[in-house]
Structure formats: structure tokens, C-alpha cells
Amino acid sequence: MRQQHTISRSVSCSGVGLHTGQPISLTLNPAPPDTGILFVCHQEGRTVSFGASIRNLMSTDLCTALSANGTLVKTVEHLLAALVGLEVDNVYVELDGGEIPAMDGSASAFVRLIRSAGITPQERPQPYLKILRPIEISEGGRRVAIAPAATTKITCSVEYNHPMIQQQTYEYDWSVASFEQDIADARTFAFLKEVEALWARGLAKGGSLDNTVVLSEDGIVNESGLRFENEFVRHKVLDLIGDMALLGVPVIGHLTADRSGHALHSKLVQAILSQPDSWVLLNAQEEAVAPQSIYARPAHKPAVALQAASAA
């Protein structure tokens, strides 16, 4: 267990949105304890703020999107993965567009941005949600589950009928060092034959070989090649880490994902929050906290998601 963290100073970056193709500026600002990850969106002459919470989930069609009060932000998963992977709990994410910049299609640019800001511990313990009973979501041969474990682990499998991918499985033991070395650099990928279909749907307008690994029928189009032999499954681990951030609190358990995606990940988060008998919240002293006691904690970041799940 550990203290909560924020960044030490404000830092900014800019780029284009993977799906919107629009230029976007993003600034990360320090935030006080128990803030969580809070988006501050400046769009169409107004400012709207909302948390990285499952209750604000708007869409999981090829990306994870959040919305509140008529304001939408797409493709939040890579930034969320970087923040969670580096154990940054409290931050204001300020942006002037409707999508997080794609950067190079991985979380590495956000990791460098956060590292340049510095990470500061805060005088507040970080709660963890510890899984006590297995929870599983299955749909059409796809599956995502979480089971009790002493530490946080991910076992992820993918299967595509393509010679560069076929079947890949990756086992990830959670740590900041492992995230930076083994996961953060893995880029999003797409099949060349599907790109035109995405354009017809108004998606992937900002996609390019600079931010996407593009697969032809028997290879990859990118001249630079792959960063890892199994970069595809590593990127799926990255996506899962980012999507699990919508739980609002770090989780202790063994996550298993088999051919899953954003939609299934969000359903697992919802299932966890709707089954409070399947977990306990631990504080820094590893004391079990009854789920209902979370509601009495004003401004505590898990409360928002848990109250929303309780009311659903």
C-alpha cells in the first residue's frame, strides 16, 4: 500500500485526435488528494469538468469515450493507462478539444510528459479495491474476468487470422517499472482493409503510420517495424489498464482477458461496482473497509462511481 500521488508541476503537449483528426492541446495540472483524474474541457466557449468514472462512459466503439453535460472526450484510454501505470492518482486533465491527442498511438509520450513534470506523494493513503470473489463477463467467445489474488496481475490473449499476430498471450505483473518498460510503448493497430470502412464512419480521420501499426494482408505497412514481437497483445494490456481506471480506485486481483475489447472491459467495471459483496476496500494499513462506509467519505474518488452503481 502507498500514499496518493499527483504531479509536481503543470505540463503540456499537443497533437491530433486519432478519430477526429483535429488538433488538440492538453495540459496536466497537479490536483489535491482525493480528486482522482478530472477532465476540464474547454469547448465551444464553455468549460465542463467531469471525472474518469464509469458513470460518465459514453461510448466504447473502437475507443473509450467519456461525456458529461453535452461535452464528449474520445480516446481517453492511453492517457488513463499512463496515469494509472505511473500511479498518479490525482490530476486535472485540461484540453481544448473533443479527444485526447493520439501522439504515437501508445502511452509512451504521456509517460514522458508525466516524468518531466515529476511525481509528488501526498499526505493521504491510497485505497485499493481487493477482489474477494471471481467476476466474469463473456460474450460470443470473448471473455474478461477478475479473480482474487495477492497482487495485481493481468493475463491477456488475442487471436487474429493474420500471420503477424495469430495467437498471442502476455502475462503482466503490475509494477511501475514493468509498465514503463514492457507496456507503455505498445502502439494501437489497425488492418489496412478496414481503414476505409472506418473513414466512412467518420472515424480514424487522424490515423497515420506515425500513430498506428497498420497491417496489410501478410505483413505490416510501417517501415519502422514493430517495437515488440508481440506488440499487439501488449497494446491490449495497455487498453485494459486504461479502461480499468474507470473503476476510480486501483484494484488487487488477477485480470484475465481473452479477445476482449473496450466494451467488455467497461462491462467488467460495471459488474465489479454492482457486486459490493465481491470485494473490500483497503486503506494504507490494509484494514478492510465495509463498502457502505465509502459513501460517507465526502470527496473520496471511489464514492462517485459506487453511488452511481448503487442507484442503477
**Grid cell locating 214:** 497498420
Burial of 9 by CB count in 10 Å (0-12 exposed, 13-18 middle, 19+ buried)?
A: exposed
Helix (H) or strand (E) holding 196: helix 192-200
Q: Is the pLDDT reported for residue 285 higher than 70?
A: no
Which of 184-198, 219-233, 256-270 has the weakest average pLDDT?
184-198
79 neighbors 100 (Cβ within 8 angstroms): yes
In this prediction the pTM is 0.90
Q: Which residues are catalytic?
A: 262
pLDDT in tens, 210-260: 999 999 999 999 999 999 999 999 999 999 999 999 999 999 999 999 999
Query: CA nearest 111: which of 57, 172, 184?
Result: 184
Residue type, 240: L
Which CATH architecture is the domain 3-125 placed in? 2-Layer Sandwich (3.30)
pLDDT in tens, 107-124: 999 999 999 999 999 999
Q: How far is CA 32 from the centre of its chain?
A: 21
Ordered by start, the domain boundaries in the chain are 3-125, 128-311
> How far apart (Å, rounded) are the C-alpha atoms in residues 197 and 194?
5
CATH class of 128-311: alpha beta
For residue 44, is it left (φ>0), alpha (ψ between -120 and 50) or beta?
left
